[in-house]
Amino acid sequence: MSDLDQIAAQADNITPETPVAGQPGQAVPAPDQAPGMSNADAVAMLLEGAREFLGQAFGLASVKNSLNEANAKLCGQAIGPVLDKYGVSLGGKVDNMPELGAALVAGPILVGAYRLAMEELKQRALSKQLEQQRQGQATQQHQVVPMSEVYDYPPHAPAAAHG
């Protein structure tokens, strides 16, 4: 019997009451009792998502520096036990909310793409405006001005003094 066949045979015999290897006496959790993300990990993940979102949405480099991964984990380790104490299971809610995960991952990327697109459009408009100004200056430099605007031509006779 190959190793793969042995593993398959063992898997066929696993039930929720089967002890987990390395942890004698502990039952395998049923699917509806699967452990969720800890509150500490959930807080850290939410802070990291907020950091990325704020950094992209508002261009805040200070948030990226001050709320780095290490600081987010420290905050999670500090806030997680408080949530545990009051019976708040943020970790379980985060695990069951794929929308939150999608927002945390896709939000910063999409906001960053939006900001870059707006910056590119702004640069294009500015370049176009500068080109129009250059063309306008060039046109003014080579513009033919009528003599009457430069000199008093034809000369006007002084008004006769009537006395």
Residue-wise pLDDT tens digits, 19-78: 555 455 554 444 444 457 889 998 998 899 889 888 887 888 888 889 999 999 999 999
Asked if 48 contacts 72 with a C-beta cutoff of 8 angstroms, the reply is yes
Asked if 39 contacts 84 with a C-beta cutoff of 8 angstroms, the reply is yes
Number of Cβ within a 10 Å radius of residue 24 = 7
> Taking the domains of the chain in order of start, what are their residue ranges?
35-111
Greatest distance between any 2 Cα atoms in the chain: 137
Residue 128 has pLDDT above 50, yes or no: yes
Alpha carbon distance 80, 91 (integer Å) = 9
Mean pLDDT computed over 79-105: 82
pLDDT band for position 79 (50/70/90)?
very high
Q: What is the pLDDT of residue 153?
A: 55
